[in-house]
Amino acid sequence: MKKLLTCIFCAVCGYAATAQNVLDINTRKLGAPIQSTMYGIFFEDINYAADGGLYGELVKNRSFEFPQHLMGWQAFGCVDVCDDGPFERCPHYVVLSAPGHQDRRTGLVNEGYFGIGVQQGEHYRFSVWAKAPKGDGALRVQLINEQSMDERQELVEEVLDITSADWRKYTLTLTSPVTLKHAKLRIFLKGSNAVALEHVSLFPVNTFKNRENGMRRDLAQALADLHPGIFRFPGGCIVEGTDLDTRYQWKNTIGPVENRPLNQNRWEHTFDHRYYPDYYQSYGLGFFEFFQLSEDIGAEPLPILSVGLACQYQNWEKADAHVPLDELQPYIDDCLDLIEFANGPADSKWGKVRAEMGHPAPFNMKYIGVGNEQWGEFYYERLKPFVAAIRAKYPNIKIVGTSGPVPEDVPDNTFRFEDGWKAMKALKADLVDEHYYRDEEWFLTHGLRYDGYDRKGPKVFAGEYACHGKGKKWNHYEAAILEAAFMTGFERNADIVHMTTPAPLFAHVDGWQWRPDQIWYDQTQMFRTVSYYVQQMYATNAGTHVLPLTMDKRPVANQEGQNGLFASAAFDKNTGEVIVKVANTSRTEQPVSLNLQAMTGSAVKTLTLCHDGMDDENSISRPELITPKEGNLSCTVDKRQTVVSDQLPPMSFRIYRVK
Ligand code: AHR
């Protein structure tokens, strides 16, 4: 019996009676499972993503360990820097002494990261390690507004008594009466007895999950809202370092924060047109915190470790930038020890460290990456012993190798992409991390990239990708739509593409080195880019299994005659819905007809990104200029085929969920 159902149509942008682009979706043929790790995030401490960003600490150079020990501080009166402090790996501290006259002052002002951001009514935990060797001393601790036109600079002040001649930790709480992006922390010595200060810290009390050494709440929440399946950290190029000494060493990032040694951030000096002399890594956000955050946001952790090669870009095959093959053991041990730190019992050597940090249960880490954007024999011959050692001790851990910094062989074949894949196959890596920052044309023409991949080798991890618009590398709408279009190829090829993470994640509006990025912020506000919303749309509408979707029996990826359309389909076995994703990358409206074969559909929900200005972007002042909009659509059912007819606006992306 012919059954006809008509629902109310109220999608965001228009309707056409005749559909020219017919997309056939075979709902009888369940394809590959879509991995829970399919859509994820990649964190690198670039653009002040950790200190000055996600990590809640508001004081810059809190341990006086920057090479210029008072960088970030303004010192006045009698301030001496000493280096025999209580923390072996952070030995510097300051001594505030009386300035010699009751009307003079001694003290320090900290500028924070581009200012200290405070919110009205919020509480801030000030803490300091201090001692008063010559009798009890005291400090006046203030939040100030130096630019204030009011009579007083201080926004709030509390007095802290230092009551011991030995090092102790003291804390107090400051409550800000105002919201301000450029507050500063000022400490006056009170009275005439000298006070020594070490590890001067100021944290919002209200961090994500209320952790003392926690994350900035709005930024961490934005990560959670992405529902990431995989969390790659800590980089990126900072894994490798400018040289081997400045590579990321996870063992320096665990244990008490006061004793984590400082590292120079390689993004301090990577671009001299974006130079940030005060960009260091305090490691307050270290590997324990990364694992904990993975758990908090429900993502599988994917740490990447050094393979014993300093950044190949910066060292162009210099021999001293590479660890000799017979000296790799400490690097291999770093991998094995990390697995024990994450997964070992609480009485194992490294599991005990984790337990003492407050997490006796294992983190259940399943993946490890070795090397970032490495290429050539230098890499392959080094990776080999890592693979052997990890397989021997931890056969269930999946190993991620890399195919280098570009997604195909380039004319002079510098980066040896194809060789990289061959080597990863030969080494039996489980996944290969591919990176591509490419222009609009590339994204428009590579929708079939993964359709021809070898199904028998390692799986694909698209570990860094973004559309870098020609001459305008910012987070404009057009780039995000092209990313959305390209991602249909991830979904269609879910049998081989198991993980994807766009890049990079965070950027401070006043301190970036690299764009586009997913989330931008200043000291008190943040905004999510259109690319962020594309990721969120995919992750929250992932489905569990691929469904075949074709137009004229061909995959829909802007092939000839496909009118700029890209599309993919999935079934969600948890909800019983069919989910179809369609991007229209043409500059004209496109009529589409979704033919859902062997299915009696009823309600159709849509989620749409649709905007006129191709160069527009979200910003601090207009954070929600472009966001996905929900809608409903009609469908008809005829002989167990459900037809959804729609009109896709130019340069738009729409997800249909058919019940
Ligand atoms: O995401 C920025 C950088 O781009 C990463 O550090 C590196 O892996 C890539 O070249």
In DSSP notation, 572-619 reads: ETTTTEEEEEEEE-SSS-EEEEEEEET-----EEEEEEE-S-TT----
Structure confidence at residue 469 as a pLDDT band (50, 70, 90): confident
Q: What percent of the chain has pLDDT over 90?
A: 92
Residue 145 near residue 180, CB atoms below 8 Å: yes
Edge-to-edge strand list for the sheet holding 629-633: 545-547, 565-572, 577-584, 652-658, 604-610, 629-633
549 Cα: distance to centroid of ligand 1 (angstroms): 34
Inform me whether the pLDDT recorded for 11 exceeds 60: no
Q: Which two tokens stand for residue 11?
A: 């999608």
Structure confidence at residue 591 as a pLDDT band (50, 70, 90): very high
Structure confidence at residue 67 as a pLDDT band (50, 70, 90): very high
Residue 322 neighbours by CB under 8 Å, 6+ apart: 308, 309, 310, 315, 378, 382
Kindly report, residue by residue over 68-83, the tens digit of the pLDDT.
Answer: 999 999 999 999 999 9
Task: Return the pLDDT at 473.
Answer: 66
Edge-to-edge strand list for the sheet holding 21-26: 549-550, 21-26, 590-597, 641-648, 636-638
Q: Is 319 exposed, middle or buried (0-12, 13-18, 19+ CB in 10 A)?
A: exposed
Inform me whether the pLDDT recorded for 1 exceeds 60: no
Report whether residue 504 contacts ligand 1, using a CB cutoff of 6 Å.
yes
Task: Return the pLDDT at 264.
Answer: 96
Residue 476 near residue 616, CB atoms below 8 Å: yes
User: In angstroms, rounded to a whole number, what is the distance separating the alpha carbons of residues 389 and 387?
Assistant: 6
| Catalytic residue ranges | 373
Closest Cα to atom 8, ligand 1: which residue?
236
Task: Decide: helix, strand or coil at residue 391.
Answer: helix
User: In angstroms, rounded to a whole number, what is the distance separating the alpha carbons of residues 45 and 238?
Assistant: 7
- What is the distance in angstroms between the CA of the first residue and the CA of the last residue of the chain? 21
Q: pTM of the full predicted structure? A: 0.96
For range 576-599, the mean pLDDT: 97
Inform me whether the pLDDT recorded for 470 exceeds 80: no
In whole angstroms, how far apart are CA 298 and each of 110, 158, 223? 36, 39, 10
463 Cα: distance to centroid of ligand 1 (angstroms): 10
Q: Which two tokens stand for residue 597?
A: 């074969």
Inform me whether the pLDDT recorded for 100 exceeds 80: yes
Task: Return the pLDDT at 8.
Answer: 35
Report whether residue 372 contacts ligand 1, using a CB cutoff of 6 Å.
yes
Kindly report, residue by residue over 43-60, the tens digit of the pLDDT.
Answer: 999 999 999 999 999 999
Report whether residue 403 contacts ligand 1, using a CB cutoff of 6 Å.
no
Closest Cα to atom 9, ligand 1: which residue?
236
Report whether residue 420 contacts ligand 1, using a CB cutoff of 6 Å.
no
Report whether residue 46 contacts ligand 1, using a CB cutoff of 6 Å.
yes
Kindly report, residue by residue over 141-184, the tens digit of the pLDDT.
Answer: 999 999 888 889 999 999 999 999 999 999 999 999 999 999 99
237 Cα: distance to centroid of ligand 1 (angstroms): 6
406 Cα: distance to centroid of ligand 1 (angstroms): 11
Nearest C-alpha neighbor of 644 from the set 3, 1, 5, 2: 5
Inform me whether the pLDDT recorded for 320 exceeds 90: no
Task: Return the pLDDT at 537.
Answer: 99
Closest Cα to atom 1, ligand 1: which residue?
504
